[in-house]
Amino acid sequence: MKLDKTKVYRLTRQVPAGRVTTYGALAKAAGNPKATRGIGMLMHVNPDAPRTPCHRVVMSNGKVGGYGSKKGVSQKIERLKAEGVNVINGKVVNFDRKLFTEFEIETD
């Protein structure tokens, strides 16, 4: 099943400031739970950052993961910290409390 990038970006925009989600949670919400790598690729080429807050998408273990900006991961961490998400040693502090998975799923 192919990912609908428009749907993925709409889902990503649901993640509020101060929270994070995972590549896997986005894949599941988009209807393709095995497409975590595809989600990562879409975040990397996000044409609408920061309106579509790809910096709020992290790995399932709370590690920050990659970031496609010129400053790379350091900019992702700066953006997260500015929103109240603490990151220590590349990992989101209190990950379980910061995790957002309450997506409003679109029905076709």
pLDDT along the chain (108 residues), means of 10: 91 98 97 95 91 96 89 93 97 98 84
| SS3 category, 28 | helix
**Which single residue is written with the structure tokens 């992290």?**
58
Could you give the residue numbers annotated as active site?
54
**What is the Cα–Cα distance from 86 to 43, expressed in whole angstroms?**
21
pLDDT for position 58: 98
**What is the Cα–Cα distance from 6 to 88, expressed in whole angstroms?**
32
First to last CA, the chain: 15
pLDDT for position 107: 67
pLDDT for position 19: 98
Q: Are 12 and 56 in contact (CB under 8 A)?
A: yes
Q: Are 73 and 79 in contact (CB under 8 A)?
A: no
Beta bridge partners of 22: 58
| SS3 category, 30 | coil
Domains observed in the chain: 5-93 (1.10.10.10)
pLDDT for position 108: 58
